[in-house]
Amino acid sequence: MISSFANPQKFMAISAWLMPAFAALAVVLFAIGVSLGLWFSPADYQQGESVRIMYVHVPAAWWSMAIYAMLALASFVFLVWRHTLADVAARAAAPIGAAYAGLCLVTGSLWGRPTWGTWWEWDARLTSMLVLFLTFLGYIALRAALDDEDKASRLGAILALAGAINLPVVHFSVEWWSTLHQPSSIIREGGSSIHPSMMAPLFTMAGAYAAAFAVLLLAGMRAEIYRRRATAAARKRARGT
Partner 1 sequence: MGLNLGVDKEAEHFAPVRLSVEAVTLERGGHVLFERLSFSAAGGDFVELRGPNGAGKTSLLRAIAGFLKLTTGAITFEGVEDAQLALHLLGHRDGLKAALNVEAHARYWASLLGEGADAGAALDRVGLARIADLPARILSQGQSRRLALTRLVTAPRPVWLLDEPAAGLDTQGKDLLDALIAEHRARGGLVIAGLHERLTEEATMTVTL
Partner 2 sequence: MSPLSVIFGRELALAWKAGPAAPVGFFLGAAVLLPLAMGTDRALLEAAGPPLVWVAAALAALMTLERLFQADLEDGSLDQLFLADESVELIVAAKGAALWVAVGLPLALAGAPVAIALQTPIEGIPAVVAGLALGMAAFIGAGLVAAAVTASVKRAGVLIALIVLPFFAPPVVFGAAATGHFGAPFLLLTGCALGAVSVGPILAAAALRLQAE
Rule CB under 8 A: which residues touch partner 2? 109, 118-123, 127, 130-131, 134-135, 137-138, 140-142, 144-148, 151, 154-156, 158-159, 161-163, 165-167, 169-170, 172-174, 176-178, 180-181, 183-184
CB of 205 to partner 1, least distance (A): 43
**Nearer of residues 3 and 185 to ligand HEM, judged by Cβ:** 185
235 lies in the site for partner 1, by CB under 8 A? yes
232 lies in the site for partner 1, by CB under 8 A? yes
Residue 135 touches which member of partner 2, ligand HEM, partner 1, none, C-beta under 5-8 Å by kind = partner 2
Residue 127 touches which member of partner 1, partner 2, ligand HEM, none, C-beta under 5-8 Å by kind = partner 2
> How many Å apart are CA 47 and CA 187, to the nearest integer?
10
181 lies in the site for partner 1, by CB under 8 A? no
DSSP annotation of 122 reads -
Please say whether the beta carbons of 133 and 95 come within 8 A: no
Residue 129 touches which member of partner 2, ligand HEM, partner 1, none, C-beta under 5-8 Å by kind = ligand HEM
Who's near 178: CB < 8 A, 6+ residues apart?
122, 123, 124, 127
> How many Å apart are CA 39 and CA 43, to the nearest integer?
9
Residue 199: Cβ-neighbour burial (10 angstroms; 0-12, 13-18, 19+): exposed
231 lies in the site for partner 1, by CB under 8 A? yes
Q: Among 3, 147, 180, 181, which residue interacts with partner 1 (rule: CB under 8 A)?
A: 147
Who's near 233: CB < 8 A, 6+ residues apart?
none
C-alpha distances in angstroms, 205 versus 41, 69, 95, 117? 13, 20, 20, 26
> How many Å apart are CA 206 and CA 108, to the nearest integer?
16
CB of 238 to partner 1, least distance (A): 6
CB of 221 to ligand HEM, least distance (A): 26
> How many Å apart are CA 197 and CA 42, to the nearest integer?
7
Site residues for partner 1 per CB under 8 A: 147-149, 231-232, 235-236, 238-241
